[in-house]
Structure 1
Amino acid sequence: MMVRLWIFILLLFLSIFAKSQETDSLQQKDSIKTISEIVLQSSAKNLRLKEGNLVMNVANNKDFKTSANILEVLRRTPGVTVDQEDGIFIGGRISPAIFINGKQILMSSQELQAYLRSLSPEMVESVEVNSNPSSKFDAEFKGIIDIRLKKNSILGWRGSYTGNISVNRFNYRENTLNLSYNTSKIAYQIQLGFNDGISTYRYNALQYLANTNVMRTKTDQKDAGKVYNLQAGIDYRLNEKNRFGFSLRGNFRENNRVRLGSLHTVNKDQTQLVFNTQSENPTDYNQDNYGITADYSFQHENFKLNVLGNYLSVENKQKDDFINKDVTSSKLLSYWKSDLVNAIHIYAGQIDASQKIGNANFDAGIKFSSSNTGNHIRYDTLSVNNQFVFDPGRSNVFDYKEKIFAGYIAYSQKINRFQINAGLRFENTESISNAVTVDSVVSRNYLKWLPSFSISYTMNKSNEFSVSYSRKITRPVFSQLNPFRFYFSPLNYWIGNPYLQPSFTNQIKATYRYKNWITSFTIGKETDVMVRYPMYNPQTNVLEYLGTNLPYRKFAALETSFPVKISEWWNITSQLTGYYNDEYRPYLDEVFALKIYNYEVRLTQVFSLPFGITANLYTNYESWTGNSLYIIKPRYTVDFSLQKGWLDNTLNTKISYNNIFDSYDQQLEFRHKQIMDNRFTHWWDSRRLLLSVNYNFGNSKYQAKEIRKSEEENRTR
């Protein structure tokens, strides 16, 4: 199947190339009579550049009519990757901030995914992908995805319901109800959500141990969860100059996870059993999340002022049992329990001002944030007399406090066909990490200056070019700092490192657009790169994953995206991306510095069928890749989906079959067999049938302003 797919892609590109050589007049044709007349043309401007950033129209874009939600739209957006766990990345490995209508919306990863799945493509005007943000934005932001919702100001009320059902080995259901009411002065909005269902995951590993034995690790995980969500807000328009907004949100999550694992070990020639153990790890997890946001804006002539305040409270509770038995004799080998309480409190406030003088804009702003995180985990181990006793070797108390004071100045001006932007940002960070259990306190106080610059040139309506530069900082998140064990299996866990340093990235990006054909090239260098690395103990066969800073890595990416119209009913969008990564990695008294090249190809085919039905065939292929320690094998996925609107498109129904061939698992292999011979596979149950329905009702199409949240919420994960 994969060979036939690539033969088809090759023939398609050859036909496009051959046809483009016949005559330049093909680009002026207004209609296509037969499939043999394939042309490159931009009949609808669904892609454009904004200060060098890709902006893509979503509503009324045929490429996304069959997408059930905005997460599926992002999966098919040039330069954006959505992995099996719905994590979002740009530029290969950058986790971007998510903005709504120009303002950040930051939640936990699970809460954010649920929110994005509640947005149908019909609700979204456009998506902007900013892979090189300026100094106006927080220095943590190596990338930003700004989702612009459709807006209207008609008085009255409006509602919508979105429901999704995912069918695979188990079912997962998502329900969202949005209600809004708009008067001449006040806009009210409320969102109610309820999700529940089961997801599954598998981990398989094969390791040749130092004593020549062969060990196979298997883990099967089933996660049953329920999520309740409530958001409510008002937007008060005092007059034409003044606006005030206030919002509350709550998100409540319950998860019951069952993880079953086994360690099966045989001798070198695999003829004799050495040991065979089975583990059970049931988990009860709860999260209560509360947020309050208040914002005020003032605008008079060419002056703008915005004030934003946030408070976030998150409490996590988790209880685990770790039970290990010998399969042959059913003998209990070990049993320990854990009880985790994690509390996070974040306060943040910022002020932004803008003044326009002639055709130049001057911006300035300040921001202060304070976050306190307390993590207490207690382990109790079953003793020889069948009583649980406190285990100080695994138990942990860790507190982390961080304060950031930041400010920026920025300038932008349009001179003839040139657009110039420049900015300078400072961020002063004070942090204290206190590992109470091991009596270790790490304090830091540092000030960093972070410049940015960009210039764009518009030759005509069809041609644009831009170049940008920025310097960014990435601070370690709480889980990277916390020095206690997170178990995957009895012999496999990772540990945080409270001594991690922040990393810094200098990056240059160039972008060129010809009609709907967009090409970009990014090059940069990151210092003090934060990574995890494996540490294998040949005596105990324990495999730890520890955190450290690498001296540097150099990277580059070349991306191109272009549409092809084959006929009036058949359109194709192609995306090609090539990556380069060169990291300098000291490891076990050696230095590994490999240069890794890899590429990714995506093909989106849209078919306009009779009776108002739209079909979409999406294919994605990722080549061999990895880093200095691991090889990651190729993988591919194929999705097919159908869409139809009813009742003047107030009712929209969609059906999708994703990852049809169950071919998107991730397979890794350790490169250096003299150190460790280990290979493993991560598998997510992503082959699924997805049914989606969206219904709009009411007498208004007013879209209230979205809830705003602070940057620090993203770093609580």
Structure 2
Amino acid sequence: MKKPTYTFLLLLFFCIGISSTLSAQTLLKGRVLDEQQKPLSYANVLLLHAKDSSLVKGAVTDDTGIFAIEAVPEGLYLISGSMLGYAAYFSKSLQLNAQQPEMNLGDLHLQSAAVKLGEVTVKGQKPFIELQQDKMIINVDASPVAAGNNALELLAKSPGVMVDHNSTISLKGRSGVLVMINGKQTYMSAEEVTRMLENTPASSIEAIEIISNPSAKYDAAGTSGIINIRMKKEKGLGTNGNLTLGAGYGENPRGSAELRMNHRTKDFNVFGSYGNFYNKRFQDIDIFRRIPFENTFTEMKQYDRKLMWSDNNRINVGADWFLSKKTTLGILANGSLGEWVPQSSGRNLLSGALPGAFNEVRSDNTGGDTWRDYTTNLNLKHAFDTKGHELSFDADYSNNNADKLQTNTNRFFNTAGTEVDIPNIVRTDAALEVDIVAFKMDYTRPLGEKSRLEAGWKSSFVDTNNDLVVETFTEDIWQNDPLRSNRFMYTENIHAGYLNFSTQLKKISVQMGLRGELTDALGQSPTLSERFTRNYFNLFPSLSISHPAGKDNSLSYNYSRRINRPSYDDLNPFVFFIDQYTFGKGNPYLTPEFTNTVGLNFSFKNKYVLSLNYNHTTDKITQILEQDDALRQTYQTTANLSTFKNYSATVSAPFEWAKWWSTRVNIVGYINDLDSPFNNGTINQSQFTAQFMAMNTFNLPGKVRGEMTVFYQTKTLEGIFEIDPMWGMDIGASTPIWKGKGNLKLNLSDVFFTRQPHIIVKQGTVDVIVDPRNESRRLNLTLSYKFGKNDVKPSRRRSTATEDELERVSRQ
């Protein structure tokens, strides 16, 4: 069959989708597997006439890799199987007749789609955004504008994802996102995840998966869904590798370098990588505060500029031993060593009712953070047969160490510019150590040809130790401040088990699951003589149903219940000195929040997708501001608010304007509704927000691929924080070089420097306006080069046991 004919048939099949069946004598069925005997979901299976390879009809495999083609008239046929990233499969001729009411074709095996032409490896180009039944996939390598960014900046450009001024990640207007790496929970707090993502270049990332309604197999953490970041890994028989170099410049430079290596034989696979990421950037923050005082007001206009350097080294090594065709033993170790150096200076101009003989406070902050993290993993996987019956086990240990030093100096001046008071100089040393041990086991067993049962267990043991030493410079010496120095220890043990069942009932696919989690936690501060315990058991059901909805269309429905536990630093009662009138503190009385989610997804002509979701959250964990009017001090902390509701709709549609120009449009609309008692009053706020993103792709002469992404967001509500509309544009281009072994990418992010938020807080006596400006406009250049053998074979992708817990660790 000629390639143009096959391409036409494949495109035609995508347009036809799951078609209505016609009356006939024979039912064809079978299963599609990859080279490792794993079922391939959403693979394309075509029934072709043997004489001319013309299309008869087609099908798409379900979650278990099974397909069925009904109503096939008698005749001579071929079967073709295909999937992006795999070579097409063609069967021998099949003769069907009226005496065969059913034919089972057995297993069809697809091979990796790498074709060697001399030294050139030709592969299919993945789209930047893929929509699957249960998730959206952002293929990072497919986008020129992704190059040169870090992982956090990349997330901020993903449809439905928002990263606010505090680097908090939300999905469709909901916070409580669980960030995973290679399918593993990180056990870090939101702040620590932010630090990790800021020090991870986009060139190290293969894809980002956005999962709005995870099944019971996933940890129940993350009330708004899961964002899974898949890191790159070299694969293939023999020795191969990849070298990536990147540089960027806005107002300050950044640079990255990474080397990935892999050596694979029939009996074992050894792989590793080392990367360095340097980033220097600025942040300007203007803050206006109006504080009531004795029937009048004190107004503060604060102007701060912060300059930050970070230098991070990441190393990853591992090996897989193929003990037999069915059993694989693996080890994995990764580590991160780095430092973050912030310096800031600012002016705070006071007017109205003054707190003293001064009307200006000048502040200087210097400091430095260092961190040393490592994780080790031992894993075993055994396949009982080639039909998906398998058992896997993981054991993990993680250690995270961080030390944060900061010196804050405040000087007080009058209108004449004369210093009128003794400087307030504070020095802090915050040390953190987190030890995590986790075990998990997953079991999968097919039940017949159309059903599958999954079961698993996981236990994690987390031990954190925080030590804060605060000193003030008094009488020319540093003296300990016993009122602010503190020690906080927190242990948390979680034991979980799950059952997940999926089946195919004619045209209806059903997946249902139930997860149970038992949590036992203890927090204590010897300094403050405070102690609290948390013991609770919860069940988390999930359900997903999908079926065709007429010709070319499909419908799916889902429900899930999830939990968002407080991060370790949010529970820490420490009071952190930010400046003379601004502090941060934890809340040891936080309780988990729970969310029930229902959703509907409609696919039209297998191209246009509409998703509707409703989420109801109780005891919502929210960043809030508390204010001491008498002292003119503002505290940023975290509290449980009563009820939070989120209604969202997402539309995704591709358009092809010309052979060289295509566009994918993603529109997300949501309503955030917050209703809760707060500070002797009530918060009752509701806000509609729309997010629009258009990704334009241009196939230019000379194999150059261009891209332009436009983003716009209307006014939004994040807890008590109102954020005004903002927009941005990114442009970029990429081209293969060195006979396809290299790739060059150039992009300019935030072309018009408009991706800057304007934040308003008006609640009770709190009246604050914040204008942060980040170094979002930057020119980036990335060069990558592949070497060694390029006959790529998919390597085993696995998840370890500790990533959920690392998600909640903080170094800040």
Normalised to the residue count of structure 1, the TM-score between the two structures is: 0.87
CA distance in 1, matches of 2:652, 2:332: 39
Q: Deviations over 1:242-281 (max 9, x none)?
A: 001101111101122112122111348x9x9951111111
Q: Deviations over 1:132-174 (max 9, x none)?
A: 1111111104423345678896421111111221201111111
- Are residues 1:275 and 2:359 paired? yes
Checking the alignment, whether the CA contact within 8 Å between 1:466 and 1:510 is kept in structure 2 is: yes
Aligned residue in 2 for 1:195:
277
Select the residue among 105, 123, 129 that pairs with 2:210.
129
CA distance in 1, matches of 2:643, 2:594: 9
CA distance in 2, matches of 1:475, 1:694: 40
Q: 1:309 and 1:431, CA in 2 relative to 1: closer, same or farther beyond 3 A?
A: same
Aligned residue type for 2:215: S
CA distance in 2, matches of 1:631, 1:150: 37
CA distance in 2, matches of 1:628, 1:141: 17
Select the residue among 251, 269, 289 that pairs with 1:207.
289
Aligned residue in 2 for 1:304:
390
- Trace 1:141-540 onto structure 2 (pairs within 5 A): 141-142=222-223, 143-146=225-228, 154-210=236-292, 211-267=296-352, 274-301=358-385, 302=387, 303-327=389-413, 328-330=417-419, 332-358=422-448, 359-383=450-474, 385-459=475-549, 462-514=552-604, 515-540=606-631
CA distance in 1, matches of 2:427, 2:615: 46
Aligned residue type for 1:134: S
Aligned residue in 2 for 1:632:
723
> 1:209 aligns to what SS in structure 2?
strand
Q: Structure 2: where are the runs of 5+ without partners?
A: 1-14, 17-123
Select the residue among 136, 139, 158 that pairs with 1:54.
136
Aligned residue in 1 for 2:685:
594
> 2:423 aligns to what SS in structure 1?
strand
- Are residues 1:576 and 2:667 paired? yes
Checking the alignment, whether the CA contact within 8 Å between 1:151 and 1:703 is kept in structure 2 is: no
Q: 1:148 and 1:712, CA in 2 relative to 1: closer, same or farther beyond 3 A?
A: closer
Checking the alignment, whether the CA contact within 8 Å between 1:49 and 1:464 is kept in structure 2 is: no
> 1:666 aligns to what SS in structure 2?
coil
Compute the displacement of 1:467 (Å): 0.5
> 1:239 aligns to what SS in structure 2?
coil
Q: 1:630 and 1:76, CA in 2 relative to 1: closer, same or farther beyond 3 A?
A: closer
Q: Which moved more, 1:137-146 or 1:163-172?
A: 137-146
Q: 1:106 and 1:504, CA in 2 relative to 1: closer, same or farther beyond 3 A?
A: closer
Q: 1:85 and 1:564, CA in 2 relative to 1: closer, same or farther beyond 3 A?
A: farther
Checking the alignment, whether the CA contact within 8 Å between 1:482 and 1:498 is kept in structure 2 is: yes
CA distance in 1, matches of 2:457, 2:762: 47
Checking the alignment, whether the CA contact within 8 Å between 1:306 and 1:353 is kept in structure 2 is: yes
Compute the displacement of 1:516 (Å): 1.9
Aligned residue type for 2:563: I
CA distance in 2, matches of 1:582, 1:284: 39
CA distance in 1, matches of 2:680, 2:132: 47
CA distance in 1, matches of 2:478, 2:666: 57
- Are residues 1:715 and 2:804 paired? no
CA distance in 2, matches of 1:138, 1:420: 20
> 1:712 aligns to what SS in structure 2?
helix
> 2:807 aligns to what SS in structure 1?
helix
Q: Deviations over 1:414-456 (max 9, x none)?
A: 1221110111111000000102211010011111111111101
Q: Structure 1: where are the runs of 5+ without partners?
A: 1-26, 29-42
Aligned residue in 1 for 2:782:
692
Aligned residue type for 2:807: N
Compute the displacement of 1:79 (Å): 3.4
Checking the alignment, whether the CA contact within 8 Å between 1:235 and 1:704 is kept in structure 2 is: no
Compute the displacement of 1:77 (Å): 4.2
Checking the alignment, whether the CA contact within 8 Å between 1:412 and 1:421 is kept in structure 2 is: yes
Q: 1:54 and 1:118, CA in 2 relative to 1: closer, same or farther beyond 3 A?
A: closer
CA distance in 2, matches of 1:628, 1:288: 33
CA distance in 1, matches of 2:208, 2:302: 42
Compute the displacement of 1:334 (Å): 0.9
Checking the alignment, whether the CA contact within 8 Å between 1:364 and 1:409 is kept in structure 2 is: yes
Q: 1:85 and 1:661, CA in 2 relative to 1: closer, same or farther beyond 3 A?
A: farther
Q: 1:70 and 1:336, CA in 2 relative to 1: closer, same or farther beyond 3 A?
A: closer
Compute the displacement of 1:677 (Å): 2.8
Compute the displacement of 1:707 (Å): 7.0
Select the residue among 204, 207, 222 that pairs with 1:119.
204
Q: 1:172 and 1:44, CA in 2 relative to 1: closer, same or farther beyond 3 A?
A: closer
Compute the displacement of 1:282 (Å): 0.6
Compute the displacement of 1:458 (Å): 3.0
CA distance in 2, matches of 1:73, 1:417: 38
> 2:709 aligns to what SS in structure 1?
strand
CA distance in 2, matches of 1:656, 1:85: 25
- Count of residues paired in the alignment: 666
Q: Which moved more, 1:687-696 or 1:81-90?
A: 81-90
CA distance in 2, matches of 1:151, 1:323: 46
User: What RMSD in Å do the two structures reach over aligned CA positions?
Assistant: 2.7
> 1:393 aligns to what SS in structure 2?
coil
> 1:715 aligns to what SS in structure 2?
coil
Checking the alignment, whether the CA contact within 8 Å between 1:532 and 1:546 is kept in structure 2 is: yes
Q: 1:647 and 1:460, CA in 2 relative to 1: closer, same or farther beyond 3 A?
A: farther
CA distance in 1, matches of 2:786, 2:163: 28
Q: Which moved more, 1:629-638 or 1:455-464?
A: 455-464
Checking the alignment, whether the CA contact within 8 Å between 1:97 and 1:106 is kept in structure 2 is: no
Aligned residue type for 1:604: M
Checking the alignment, whether the CA contact within 8 Å between 1:52 and 1:465 is kept in structure 2 is: no
Larger radius of gyration: 2
Task: Give the % identical residues.
Answer: 24
CA distance in 1, matches of 2:398, 2:254: 28
Checking the alignment, whether the CA contact within 8 Å between 1:228 and 1:252 is kept in structure 2 is: yes
Q: 1:461 and 1:340, CA in 2 relative to 1: closer, same or farther beyond 3 A?
A: farther
Aligned residue type for 2:219: D
Checking the alignment, whether the CA contact within 8 Å between 1:292 and 1:312 is kept in structure 2 is: yes
CA distance in 2, matches of 1:354, 1:236: 21
Q: Which moved more, 1:658-667 or 1:259-268?
A: 259-268
> 1:480 aligns to what SS in structure 2?
helix
CA distance in 2, matches of 1:279, 1:273: 17
CA distance in 2, matches of 1:138, 1:197: 33
Q: 1:77 and 1:492, CA in 2 relative to 1: closer, same or farther beyond 3 A?
A: closer
CA distance in 2, matches of 1:456, 1:532: 37
Normalised to the residue count of structure 2, the TM-score between the two structures is: 0.77
Q: Which moved more, 1:298-307 or 1:90-99?
A: 90-99
CA distance in 1, matches of 2:550, 2:239: 43
Q: 1:158 and 1:45, CA in 2 relative to 1: closer, same or farther beyond 3 A?
A: closer
Checking the alignment, whether the CA contact within 8 Å between 1:229 and 1:250 is kept in structure 2 is: yes
Q: 1:127 and 1:495, CA in 2 relative to 1: closer, same or farther beyond 3 A?
A: closer
Q: 1:80 and 1:675, CA in 2 relative to 1: closer, same or farther beyond 3 A?
A: closer
Q: 1:318 and 1:74, CA in 2 relative to 1: closer, same or farther beyond 3 A?
A: closer
Q: 1:314 and 1:150, CA in 2 relative to 1: closer, same or farther beyond 3 A?
A: closer
Compute the displacement of 1:679 (Å): 0.9
- Are residues 1:138 and 2:213 paired? no
Q: 1:247 and 1:49, CA in 2 relative to 1: closer, same or farther beyond 3 A?
A: same
